[in-house]
A and B are shown apart, each in its own frame.
Chain A
Amino acid sequence: MTRMYHLMPVEAYTSQDWFDREQELIFSRTWRYAGFVEDIPEPGHYISVQAGLNNIFIVMGRDHRLRAFHNICRHRGTQLIRAVGKTQKALTCPYHDWTYDLEGNLVSVPDEEREYPNGIDKSCLGLKPAAVDVWRGMLFVHPDPNPPSLAAWFGEVDPHLGPHKPEELVEYPEARSSYEIKANWKIVVENYIDVYHLSHLHSNTLYMYDHAKAKYGWSGPHYHFWEPPTEEYGANLEKNLPSPRVIPEPHVGAWVPMLFPGIGLGASEESWNVFIITPLGPNLTRIENRSKVANVSGWEYQKQEWSSWGFWKDFGGPKYEGDDVASEDDPMASGDFTAEDIYACEQQQKSLASPFLEIGPAATGESPITNHQRAILEFMKDHEK
C-alpha cells in the first residue's frame, strides 16, 4: 500500500523519479523567476538561470530590448555563457569559438572553408529562442518562445499582493542570501504557507502581525496571504515601523504569497522580499533571498530607527530557553524565524523515509498545504500528454 501524505504519496517527497517528473512537467513548463530588472542594466549585460531542465540566458541588445535564448551552443551543445557578465556585440562559445550575435544568429564559424568544405548553412544554426518578460520589477523566463502571457499567469493573483512597486525600491544588499535546506522543495513551500505554525513555531518571533486575522486563499495555482498588524504594533504603527514605508498609508499588513511554483514573496509596510525555492534533488532545495527597501536618505532611516526603538528593544526572543537548548547554535534558541523554519523542514524530511511514518489529519490552518498538493497534481496532469 502506498503511504500517503495527505493527497500525495510520501514518495513524492523522497524519490528521484518524482523529482525528475516535477522538473520536466512543472519547472520546465512555467515562468521562472530570473532576477530583478536592474540585474541587466545596460546593453550587452546578460544573466543565465536554470529553469527546470533548461538553462536560459537573458541579454540586453543595443536597442535596449531584452532577449532570451537557450544557453546551448548549436554546434555540440556546450553552455555558451556563464552566470552573469557583459559582452559587446557577440557571444562566443568557449569550445570551438562559434560566435553568435545578440539576436542569436550564428555569425561566424572558425576555419569555415577548411572544416566544412561542403559548406554550412549558418542561417539555420541560430540560438534557440526562449521568452523573457517583466512583472513587478522581476525578470521571468519561459523555455517556450511563445508562452502563455506572463500578465495572464499572474493577472488574477496580482490584486491580492499589496500595492508595492518593487521597481521603485532599492535593494538592501546585506539581506541577499542563498542557502540550502536538506528537504524536498514541497516541504519548504508547505512550511511557507502553513498558517497553523505561525503562532507556534514562531511564537516568539513573528508576533507583530495578527495571525488569527490572516486572510488567505488561492488564484489558480497561486497562493495569497495577508495579515494585519497586531493591536499593540498597529496602535502606533508609523512610529513602530523599523524602517521607512514603501507603500502609501493607509495600507498596512504583511502580504506573504507563494506563487507557483516555489516563488515566495514577503511584503510589508517597510520592505519587499523574494524567497525563491529551487529544487536541487529529492532531499535538497536551494533558497535565494533578496530584499528591497525604500529609496530614501540615510537620515530617514535613522529617524525611523530612533522612533521605533522603544517597540523593538524588548521584542522577540528564542523559542527554547534554559534546559531545552541543545547547544550553543541551536536554531530553536536563535530568535530567528528563518532558522526556526529551516530546522522544522529538515526535521520533518528526516522522518519521511521511516516505514512507521503516518501523517495526521490536516488542520484548518493547513488547508493551504493540501491545496498546494492539489495544484501540483493538477498542473502535472495537465502537462502530461
Chain B
Amino acid sequence: MPQSFHPLTVADIRSEIDGSATSITFSVPPHLASEFTWRPGQHLSLKLQVNGEEQRRSYTISNPPGAPLRITVKRVKKGCVSNFVADTLKVGDQLEVMAPKGRFVLDPQALGHRTHYFFAAGSGITPIFSMVNAVLADEPYAVAHLVYGNVEAGDILFEAELTELLERYGDRLTVRHVLSAPSMWSWFTPWRKGRVDAEAIQAAITETPPVAQDVHYWICGPGSMNQDVRQALNGLDVPNSRIHSESFGGEGAQDTSVSGVASQVTVKLLGQTQTVAVAAGQTLLEAMRASGLRPPFSCQSGVCGACIARTSQGKVHMRSRVALEDGDISKGYVLTCQSVPTAEKMTLTFEA
C-alpha cells in the first residue's frame, strides 16, 4: 500500500504545561476524512522543513476517534522539530501529514465488560489518553484505571482534561498520579511518590481490583518502563496475551547508543534473494536502497511500520520501535529503517 503525505492545515495550537508541550489540531478536508480516521493509540507522521532541511517525525494522536485530529508534542531540549512546533508554527500553516498508523491500539467493544489498567509515564500518556477517552465514551460497561508517572506535578500532561473525565465518569475511572521528585512547594498530593514500579502496580490492582475476567493492561512509557511493568505484571501471573505495550519514541527518544557492525545481509524480497553489504552505522533500509533494492518504507522514523521485515538469522539494534508491539519483536520482526546490524551475517525476509 503506498503511503503518501497530504497537506493539512493547522487549525489550533495550544501550549501545555507552561510551554513544555504543544498540542496541534489539524483541520481535515472532507475528501481526506476517511483516510484520516484513527483507532485510539495510533500515530501521525509529519514531514516538515526546518531551516531548509526536511525532517520526519511521528507523534501520537492525543484525541479519541471522532474528536478533532490532534497531536501533542513534548518540547525537547535542542529538539529542532519540537521547538519549531512550539515557537514558529502558526495557525493556518500547512504541514505534510501521513494517514494515522500504528499497532498499539485499543478498539472499544460496545458490549465489552472489561477492566483496563493503563500505565503511562511522561509523554507516554498521549496514546493512553486517547485510549482512556475511547473506553469511557464507547465502552459503557468497562472501567478504566490509570496510573500515571511523572517527575513532578508541573510535568503532568492533560491534567485538566483528566480531572474533567473524573468528574464526568467518576464511577468508571480512577486516576493515580505517581511523582518521582515532587516539588516541596507544590500543593499537589500525588497518590504515591516514586516510580510506576511493582509495588505501585500491586497497590493499584489491590485498591481497585478488576471487575471480572476480561482484563487488559496497557503500558506506554520511556526507557525500561515497559519491561519493568510487564515483569511486575508477570509476577502477579498476568499472561502476556493481556499486556499491550509500546515504547514511547518521539523526538529525542532514539536510542543511538549502539552503532552496529558491518554485515552481510541476505535479503528476501518479492521472491528474490540478494546479498547486501551493510556498513557499520548504516541502517538496513539505507543499505538496501543504496544497493538498488526497492524495499517498502515510508515514515523512516520507526512509526508507520511500512518497512517491517523478519529476521531469521543475526541480530539488530533498533534505534526506535514505536510501530512494533513487544510481541512482534520476540517473533523477530524489525523496522528496517531503525535497525543497525549487530551480527556479521544476517537473513532478512519481507513477508508481505
Q: Whose C-beta in chain B lies nearest to the C-beta of A131? A: B213
Q: How large is the interface on B (under 10, 10 to 19, 20 to 34, 35 or more residues)?
A: 10 to 19
Measured between beta carbons, the chain B residues less than 8 angstroms from A151 are: 111-113, 141
Interface residue B328 (Cβ < 8 Å from any Cβ of A): no
Interface residue B238 (Cβ < 8 Å from any Cβ of A): yes
Least CB distance from B266 to A in Å reads 32
Least CB distance from B5 to A in Å reads 40
Least CB distance from A147 to B in Å reads 11
Least CB distance from A33 to B in Å reads 14
Please judge, given known A-B contacts A151-B113, A151-B141, whether A66 and B210 are in contact too, CB under 8 Å. Answer: yes
In the complex, are the beta carbons of A132 and B111 less than 8 A apart? no
B window 182-210: CB within 8 A of A: 205-206, 209-210
Measured between beta carbons, the chain A residues less than 8 angstroms from B233 are: 63
Q: Whose C-beta in chain B lies nearest to the C-beta of A149? A: B111
In the complex, are the beta carbons of B238 and A63 less than 8 A apart? yes
In the complex, are the beta carbons of B113 and A134 less than 8 A apart? yes
Least CB distance from A161 to B in Å reads 16
Q: Which of B111, B212, B239 contacts A134 (CB 8 A)?
A: B212
Q: How many A residues, CB 8 Å from partner?
A: 22
Please judge, given known A-B contacts A67-B213, A132-B213, A134-B212, whether A152 and B111 are in contact too, CB under 8 Å. Answer: yes
Interface residue B215 (Cβ < 8 Å from any Cβ of A): yes
Interface residue B91 (Cβ < 8 Å from any Cβ of A): no
Give Cα A120 to B41, complex, Å. 42
Least CB distance from A84 to B in Å reads 18
Interface residue A102 (Cβ < 8 Å from any Cβ of B): yes
Give Cα A155 to B112, complex, Å. 12
In the complex, are the beta carbons of A149 and B113 less than 8 A apart? yes
Interface residue A189 (Cβ < 8 Å from any Cβ of B): no
In the complex, are the beta carbons of A61 and B212 less than 8 A apart? no
In the complex, are the beta carbons of B215 and A63 less than 8 A apart? yes
Give Cα A155 to B140, complex, Å. 12
Measured between beta carbons, the chain A residues less than 8 angstroms from B210 are: 63-66
A window 36-75: CB within 8 A of B: 61-68
Least CB distance from B308 to A in Å reads 28
Q: Whose C-beta in chain A lies nearest to the C-beta of B141? A: A151
In the complex, are the beta carbons of A103 and B237 less than 8 A apart? yes
B window 93-129: CB within 8 A of A: 111-113, 115
In the complex, are the beta carbons of B214 and A63 less than 8 A apart? no
Least CB distance from A381 to B in Å reads 25
| Sampled A-B contacts (5; CB under 8 Å) | A63-B236, A63-B237, A66-B213, A133-B214, A149-B113
Interface residues of A (CB under 8 A from B): 61-68, 89, 101-103, 131-135, 149-152, 155
Interface residues of B (CB under 8 A from A): 111-113, 115, 141, 205-206, 209-215, 233, 236-239
Known: A133-B113, A134-B113, A134-B211; 18 extra A-B contacts, CB below 8 A, are A62-B237, A63-B205, A63-B210, A63-B215, A63-B236, A63-B237, A65-B212, A65-B213, A65-B238, A66-B210, A67-B213, A131-B213, A134-B212, A149-B112, A150-B113, A151-B112, A151-B141, A155-B111
